[in-house]
């Protein structure tokens, strides 16, 4: 047995996934909320029997390895090593792929770069500029250590020399980490020079990039430069502080989202240490998924300006089903860094006084428009109707409708009417609710026949072992149309009696295993099965008949089509006439089978 196979055998997918997301038993599988898309009712299934998972909302599917790759961002080798360690399997013959090898090298380069910058800042004499700057901003030694801050020297190739000449990494690998810039003549330079360095880590604490801050306010360069997108660094997934403050975030089940690295550091120093910064101002679906692993509530620190309002609206469309969202409004207009530094208590109080995103949007709209005029009222309603109309909790929605009606001094039922009007899309064209890019892809609608065929096999694979044998010959009369089902049935028919499902399942080729797994975890079927309670065999017979009838009807349809074609011919050859008679006979016989089946 290969080592991969060995680890696979020793691993239970239910355990691997169950450690990370909440799973509940449902029929023969376990289900939970999908970690790969936003949803309210669980459509993520994990099967013990097949050792696979599948989301019926977004379509994600795979085994324990691919789950770790997708969820934890591990490479295959990392996932293998992780699972081998857990299972106590010693890996000796497994060779990582060249891609995994390279991935590991790039991580090592970034790790060394972080150590290098950190060393210069904390130990080296030329790091004095960085130390003085941090001291002035009130950053403590504890924060410098926790966030592994660093300093890049004002030299063109200090880091390259260290990584290439001293640590012997190839220039090609160093380039791939984004730490260098290649000049017109093909020479490589350090990307970060004379800057304060913030290592950017992924959720597993591995350094994947950097943000470098200019220390000289009068310089004409960009205040911040960040690593470019690389195979390891993806801006849309980046939450500064997430891995460093993870324990605290998890403990409080709450996370504060701010804009900059210094906001995070100063806030943590003011003992508000469940805080992260997003790179750039827009919350992404990746951020939401990451946050939702550790927290149930997210607090945004925002101004009451257009940027804040737009960010909030976007956040609502992304995360309203996954996270409870609130807003921290800083009345003085200071940013969290400044407030936390100058009056830490005020910052803590502002956090405690957070308001819901809906209250925030109402307050912002009232501030931006004149609620006392008819025009102002209309503008406010136009702005808020989509937001309030999209709320999924009726009682909560009612609270804000009342609140808005009172603020506008209009009747509540009129506000409700406007929201309804918006929902029905009768608005004068300005508001256009768009489908967000993050909605799961709709599942393809199956024909009635396909659905019945799938359900029939679902019942078969959920039947008691004792009742299986008489069912097998009944399958013989059917021709399955849904792709993959007929080969599956052929294998069942060919299997030795008495049929051992476990054994048949194990020997199936992987595509049929996947098909069978998806079918046996289909949430609609599982739900139906739950309601049968002892009437499983009746359901089997009924479905068998239904499938058969669908099949006969399809055949009749085809024959009728051919007959119509013959009818349309001006002249029939003797062969045509023979065919016509044959078809008519066939149709009569099919009709008889159909009525016999219905009567039975």
- Which residue among 13, 17, 30, 34 contacts Zn ion (CB under 5 A)? 34
- Closest approach, Cβ 37 to Zn ion, in A, equals 4
Contact 540, 523 (CB under 8 A): no
Name which of 323 and 544 has its Cβ closer to Zn ion. 323
Name which of 34 and 288 has its Cβ closer to Zn ion. 34
Contact 131, 121 (CB under 8 A): yes
**Owner of token pair 């009437």:** 535
Instruction: Identify which range of 47-55, 201-209, 341-349, 538-546 contacts Zn ion by CB under 5 A.
Output: 47-55
> How many chain residues are in contact with Zn ion, going by CB under 5 A?
6
| Residue 201 φ then ψ, to 5° | -110, 155
**Cβ neighbours of 558 (radius 10 Å):** 11
Instruction: Identify which range of 56-64, 228-236, 410-418, 500-508 contacts Zn ion by CB under 5 A.
Output: 56-64
Q: What is the dihedral of CA 219, 221, 225, 227, to 10 degrees?
A: -130
- Which residue among 14, 16, 23, 55 contacts Zn ion (CB under 5 A)? 55
- Which residue among 32, 42, 57, 336 contacts Zn ion (CB under 5 A)? 57
| Residue 298 φ then ψ, to 5° | -125, 135
- Closest approach, Cβ 82 to Zn ion, in A, equals 23
- Closest approach, Cβ 469 to Zn ion, in A, equals 38
Name which of 218 and 441 has its Cβ closer to Zn ion. 441
* Residue 36 contacts Zn ion per CB under 5 A: yes
* Residue 37 contacts Zn ion per CB under 5 A: yes
Q: In the numeric block, which tokens belong to residue 89?
A: 């399997």
Q: In the numeric block, which tokens belong to residue 29?
A: 């599988």
With H, G, I as helix, E, B as strand and everything else as coil, classify residue 553.
helix
With H, G, I as helix, E, B as strand and everything else as coil, classify residue 369.
coil
Name which of 71 and 360 has its Cβ closer to Zn ion. 71
Instruction: Identify which range of 58-66, 134-142, 365-373, 528-536 contacts Zn ion by CB under 5 A.
Output: 58-66
- Closest approach, Cβ 38 to Zn ion, in A, equals 9
- Closest approach, Cβ 55 to Zn ion, in A, equals 3
With H, G, I as helix, E, B as strand and everything else as coil, classify residue 527.
helix
- Closest approach, Cβ 39 to Zn ion, in A, equals 7
Name which of 219 and 443 has its Cβ closer to Zn ion. 443
- Closest approach, Cβ 44 to Zn ion, in A, equals 6
CA 272 to chain centre: 28
CA-closest candidate to residue 317, choices 288, 279, 294: 288
Q: Give the integer Cα–Cα distance in Å for 346 and 348.
A: 5
Name which of 58 and 196 has its Cβ closer to Zn ion. 58
**Cβ neighbours of 167 (radius 10 Å):** 14
- Closest approach, Cβ 54 to Zn ion, in A, equals 9
Q: Helix 374-389 to helix 357-368 angle, to the nearest 10 degrees? A: 160
Name which of 34 and 275 has its Cβ closer to Zn ion. 34
Instruction: Identify which range of 49-57, 365-373, 399-407, 586-594 contacts Zn ion by CB under 5 A.
Output: 49-57
Left if phi > 0, otherwise alpha if psi is -120 to 50, otherwise beta: which for 22? Answer: beta
Those residues whose C-beta lies under 8 Å from the C-beta of residue 200, and which sit 6 or more positions away, are 207, 208, 209, 210, 211, 226, 227, 233, 238, 240, 279
Name which of 37 and 454 has its Cβ closer to Zn ion. 37
- Closest approach, Cβ 17 to Zn ion, in A, equals 13
Name which of 36 and 360 has its Cβ closer to Zn ion. 36
Q: Which residues bind Zn ion (CB under 5 A)?
A: 34, 36-37, 55, 57-58
């Amino acid at each position: 047995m290969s080592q991969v196979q060995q680890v696979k055998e020793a691993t239970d997918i239910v355990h691997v996934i169950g450690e990370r997301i909440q799973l509940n038993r449902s029929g023969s599988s376990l289900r939970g909320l999908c970690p790969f898309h936003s949803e309210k009712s669980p459509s993520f299934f994990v099967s013990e029997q097949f050792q696979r998972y599948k989301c019926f909302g977004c379509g994600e599917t795979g085994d324990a390895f691919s789950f770790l790759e997708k969820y934890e961002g591990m490479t295959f080798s990392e996932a293998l090593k992780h699972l081998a360690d857990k299972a106590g399997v010693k890996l000796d013959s497994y060779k990582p792929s060249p891609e995994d090898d390279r991935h590991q090298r790039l991580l090592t380069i970034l790790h060394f770069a972080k150590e290098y910058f950190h060393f210069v800042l904390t130990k080296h004499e030329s790091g004095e500029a960085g130390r003085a700057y941090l001291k002035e901003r009130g950053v403590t030694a504890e924060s410098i250590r926790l966030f592994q801050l660093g300093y890049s020297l004002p030299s063109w190739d200090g880091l390259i020399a260290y990584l290439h000449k001293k640590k012997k990494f190839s220039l090609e690998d160093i380039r791939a980490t984004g730490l260098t810039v290649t000049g017109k003549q093909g020479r490589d330079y350090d990307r970060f020079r004379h800057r304060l360095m913030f290592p950017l880590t992924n959720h597993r604490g591995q350094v994947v990039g950097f943000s470098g801050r200019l220390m000289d306010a009068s310089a004409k360069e960009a205040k911040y430069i960040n690593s470019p997108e690389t195979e390891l660094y993806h801006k849309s997934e980046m939450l500064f502080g997430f891995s460093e403050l993870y324990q605290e975030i998890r403990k409080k089940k709450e996370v504060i989202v701010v804009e900059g690295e210094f906001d995070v550091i100063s806030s943590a120093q003011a003992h508000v240490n469940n805080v992260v910064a997003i790179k750039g101002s827009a919350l992404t679906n990746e951020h939401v998924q990451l946050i939702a692993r550790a927290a149930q509530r997210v607090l945004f620190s925002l101004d009451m300006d257009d940027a804040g309002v737009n960010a909030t609206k976007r956040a609502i469309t992304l995360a309203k089903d996954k996270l409870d969202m609130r807003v921290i409004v800083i009345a003085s207009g200071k940013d969290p860094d400044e407030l936390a530094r100058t009056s830490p208590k005020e910052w803590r109080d502002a956090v405690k006084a957070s308001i819901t995103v809906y209250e925030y949007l109402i307050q912002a709209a009232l501030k931006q428009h004149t609620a006392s005029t008819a025009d102002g009222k209309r503008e406010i309603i136009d702005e808020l109707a989509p937001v309030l109309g999209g709320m999924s909790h009726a009682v909560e929605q009612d609270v804000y409708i009342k609140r808005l009606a009172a603020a506008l001094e209009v009747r509540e039922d009129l506000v409700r009417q406007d929201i309804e009007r918006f929902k029905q899309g009768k608005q004068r064209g300005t508001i256009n609710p768009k489908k967000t890019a993050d909605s799961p892809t709709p599942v393809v609608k199956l024909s009635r026949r396909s659905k019945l065929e799938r359900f029939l096999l679902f019942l078969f694979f959920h039947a008691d072992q004792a009742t299986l044998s008489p069912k097998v010959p009944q399958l013989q009369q059917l021709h399955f149309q849904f792709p993959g089902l007929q080969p599956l049935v052929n294998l069942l028919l060919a299997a030795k009696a008495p049929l051992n499902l476990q054994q048949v399942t194990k020997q199936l080729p992987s595509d049929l295993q996947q098909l069978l797994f998806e079918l046996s975890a289909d949430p609609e079927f599982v739900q139906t099965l739950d309601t049968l309670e002892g009437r499983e065999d009746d359901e089997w017979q009924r479905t068998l008949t239904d499938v058969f009838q669908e099949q006969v009807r399809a055949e009749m349809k085809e024959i009728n089509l051919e007959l119509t074609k013959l009818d349309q011919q001006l002249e029939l050859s003797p062969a045509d006439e023979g065919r016509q008679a044959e078809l008519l006979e066939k149709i009569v016989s099919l009709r008889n089978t159909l009525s016999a089946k219905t009567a039975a």
